[in-house]
Amino acid sequence: MKDLLWDEFQESVQEGLIRDRSILDVLSKYQDSTARVNRSIVKAVTGCGCIRVNAAKPEVPAEISLRELRAYMDDHVEGELCAHCREVVEEEVGRQLFYMAALANILNLNVYDILIKEHKKVSTLGIYNIC
Ligand SMILES: [Zn+2]
């Protein structure tokens, strides 16, 4: 059974996007939304300070399995997003989803079908799904 929420979201985006219907406008806005997501996270670090980035080259033993590698990998984030920063990041991710759906609409792609394909790939490959 197909999840209707994604289809409804895609339809709402179609109806909500009155101006900037050109693929050039949508590509530009999509790229901008990605930059805004990144900026909101940077602001959480440098403006608010609720999260910190503490990164270093991982010290990984030479003889290690791919499965064991996970224990040596770090996301380099310390702390938790405060309520305000969480709201801002969520808003920017939402905007990014909006333009992703708009892009899919223009190219006649179904976001839910893409989600299913990606989910199957990730769940099948598991730890071998290296991006
Ligand atoms: Zn914060």
* Gap from CA of 101 to ligand 1 centroid (Å): 28
* Gap from CA of 46 to ligand 1 centroid (Å): 9
Span 58-101, pLDDT tens digits:
888 888 888 888 888 889 999 999 999 999 999 999 999 999 99
* Gap from CA of 75 to ligand 1 centroid (Å): 18
For the chain, report the end-to-end CA distance as a whole number of angstroms. Answer: 29
Mean pLDDT confidence for 42-70: 91
Task: For residue 13, give every residue at least 6 positions away whose Cβ sits within 8 Å of its Cβ, in sequence order, or none.
Answer: 98, 101, 102, 105
* Gap from CA of 35 to ligand 1 centroid (Å): 18
* Gap from CA of 21 to ligand 1 centroid (Å): 34
* Gap from CA of 70 to ligand 1 centroid (Å): 28
- 131 versus 108: the higher-pLDDT residue is 108
| Fold (CATH) for 4-128 | Helix Hairpins (1.10.287)
| pLDDT > 70? residue 128 | no
Residue 79: strand, helix, or coil: strand
